[in-house]
């Protein structure tokens, strides 16, 4: 005699936390076993990004709806009941400008990090203090990505909205405030605004006056990482399907959260720098020192130390666009064979060329579509690795150390799962590469922040106990110096063309 199957047998496990990565393109909610860091499931929900001619913006209400959808999908996929969740934290895309009315409603779509319309305002701000003045205060120079430049754009182009603003938020602290009703941010994300001084660990009154910003409009900055922002309100609990009163951590920016997920803490020795290949390309490393050089953003880390970072605008999406134009699969690339393609399709941040367009040179009758695509990979990777050299040099390390003596790179992001991306990084860097087994590192870093807020633990220590940075190590390849020098030469010679 057969019997119908019964309900699934639930495996008893420890407390569960939810780490949220609200990125440019989507929200991901990582339902995570707080004891082991095991990723039980990831819920996803897409965002809508609009704009042309340098404009990139999203209605913040899209993020709020996506958060609820991603949490619901994650809980369902994990087979987790809402009552098992003990805490939640949000990591968000950096720099975005969210302006709110007195009721906490957005006055307009948020200006995103890759919106380059504020390039003129960035140049004007840079001139007011000069390179050294900005580096001394913030560790970074004004570029169109930064929040304060977008605020200047708003003041000039939509002054009625700037005057009506009752609150100014970053994407992650907009969502955190929606969750718990309390405005709060952290040193890491605050350090990407140009209002926060990494030298003084405070909002800088000179910079606030310079940009016409009232500190009362900004979120208070909680010191260190893993702090409690508040508890889930009844309205937010109903929106998410989670228990009211759930602890909500302060959260941080997505790059800072990924550093937490990898167990990088500024109190320790600079170890493996990280290369993240996503919509943007980023390089960062936790540091005990505060580097202040023009090529980097001298951010704070989520734990209140330092996270120097270089960021490029054009990475996986730009290369995918080239593949689409050529009608090729993204893995159908060949080495560029004398071609140079700088895929600066959305302007560029590093180097600071906000009005740049793509540049192709070296094309011949014998050139193949695969070589064109390979040249796009090489151009994108070269740009990221140049930022890496600046980071290592600023931290007192030799960026030219060869072969086995070279510092290994942790390679993360969507590109780290692509064969051509990995091999191009190995070929152009000449460094060993570590591919962490864990994915969704920003969301898992947020999960560590949530667990720390609940328990009072150090979030970096939590993530280290989860071993998220471990993975397969690939030996170094001989550096392709010919390609490196060819791209570098074209970039230097073509800067005037790219600026037009």
User: Are the CB atoms for 225 and 258 separated by under 8 Å?
Assistant: no
Phi and psi (nearest 5°) for 199?
-75, -40
* Consecutive H or E run containing 121: helix 119-138
List Cβ<8 Å contacts ≥24 apart for 214-217: 217/165, 217/166, 217/167, 217/168
Residue 289: half-sphere exposure toward Cβ, Cα within 13 Å: 12
**DSSP string computed for 199-254:** TTTEE-HHHHHHTT--GGGSPPBPSSSS-EEEE--HHHHHHHT--TT-EEE--EEH
The Cα-based distances of 318 to 57, 251, 500 in angstroms read 18, 29, 19
Q: Which tokens is 71 given?
A: 């949490």
Q: Cα separation of 175 and 251, whole Å?
A: 10
Name the residues annotated as catalytic. 254
The Cα-based distances of 378 to 285, 339, 487 in angstroms read 23, 10, 8
β-bridge pairing 57-58 and 110-111: antiparallel
Q: Which residues pair with 45 in a beta bridge?
A: 27
Measured at the CA of 360, the angle between CA 358 and CA 362, to 5 degrees, comes to 170
- Helices (H), strands (E): how many in the chain? 15, 22
CA dihedral of residues 420, 440, 291, 218 (deg, nearest 10): 130
Picking from 386, 195, 358, the residue whose alpha carbon sits closest to that of residue 294 is: 386
* Consecutive H or E run containing 371: helix 369-394
CA dihedral of residues 170, 171, 173, 177 (deg, nearest 10): 120
User: Are the CB atoms for 240 and 232 separated by under 8 Å?
Assistant: yes
């Amino acid at each position: 005699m057969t019997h119908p199957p019964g309900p699934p047998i639930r495996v008893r496990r420890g407390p569960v936390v939810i780490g949220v990565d609200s990125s440019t393109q989507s929200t991901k909610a990582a339902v995570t076993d707080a004891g082991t860091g095991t990723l039980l499931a990831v819920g996803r929900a897409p965002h809508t990004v609009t704009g042309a001619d340098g404009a990139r913006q999203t209605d913040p209400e899209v993020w709020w709806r996506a958060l609820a959808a991603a949490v619901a999908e994650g809980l369902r996929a994990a087979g987790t009941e809402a009552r098992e969740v003990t805490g939640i934290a949000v990591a968000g895309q950096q720099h975005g400008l969210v302006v709110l009315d007195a009721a906490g409603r957005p006055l307009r779509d948020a200006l995103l990090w890759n919106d380059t319309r504020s390039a003129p305002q960035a140049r004007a701000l840079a001139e007011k203090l000069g390179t050294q003045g900005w580096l001394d205060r913030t560790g970074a120079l004004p570029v169109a990505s930064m929040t304060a430049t977008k605020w200047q754009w708003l003041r000039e182009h939509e002054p009625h909205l700037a005057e009506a603003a009752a609150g100014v938020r970053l994407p992650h602290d907009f969502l955190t405030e929606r969750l718990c009703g309390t405005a709060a941010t952290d040193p890491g994300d605050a350090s990407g605004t140009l209002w926060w001084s990494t030298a003084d660990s405070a909002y800088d009154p000179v910079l606030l006056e310079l940009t016409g910003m009232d500190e009362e409009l900004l979120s208070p900055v909680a010191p260190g990482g893993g702090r409690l922002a508040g508890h889930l309100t009844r309205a937010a609990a109903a929106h998410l399907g989670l228990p009211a009163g759930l602890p909500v951590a302060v959260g941080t920016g997505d790059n800072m959260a990924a550093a937490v997920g990898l167990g990088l803490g500024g109190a320790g020795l600079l170890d493996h720098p990280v290369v993240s290949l996503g919509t943007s390309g980023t390089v960062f490393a936790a540091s005990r020192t505060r580097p202040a050089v023009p090529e980097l953003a001298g951010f704070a880390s989520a734990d209140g130390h330092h996270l120097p970072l270089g960021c490029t605008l054009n990475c996986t999406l730009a290369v995918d666009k080239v593949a689409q134009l050529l009608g090729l699969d993204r893995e159908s690339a060949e080495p560029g064979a004398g071609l140079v393609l700088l895929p600066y399709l959305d302007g560029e941040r590093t180097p600071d060329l906000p009005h740049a367009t793509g540049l192709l040179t070296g094309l011949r009758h014998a050139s193949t579509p695969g070589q064109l695509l390979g040249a796009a990979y090489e151009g994108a990777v070269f740009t990221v690795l140049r930022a890496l050299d600046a980071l290592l040099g600023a931290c007192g390390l030799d960026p030219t150390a060869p072969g086995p003596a070279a510092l290994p790179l942790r390679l993360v992001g969507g590109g780290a799962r692509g064969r051509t991306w990995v091999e191009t990084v190995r070929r152009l860097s000449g460094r060993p590469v570590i591919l962490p087994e864990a994915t969704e590192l920003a969301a898992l870093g947020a999960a560590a922040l949530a667990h720390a807020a609940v328990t009072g633990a150090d979030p970096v220590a939590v993530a280290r106990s989860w071993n998220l940075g471990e993975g397969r190590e690939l030996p170094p390849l001989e550096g392709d110096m010919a390609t490196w020098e060819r791209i570098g030469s074209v970039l230097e010679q073509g800067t005037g063309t790219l600026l037009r």
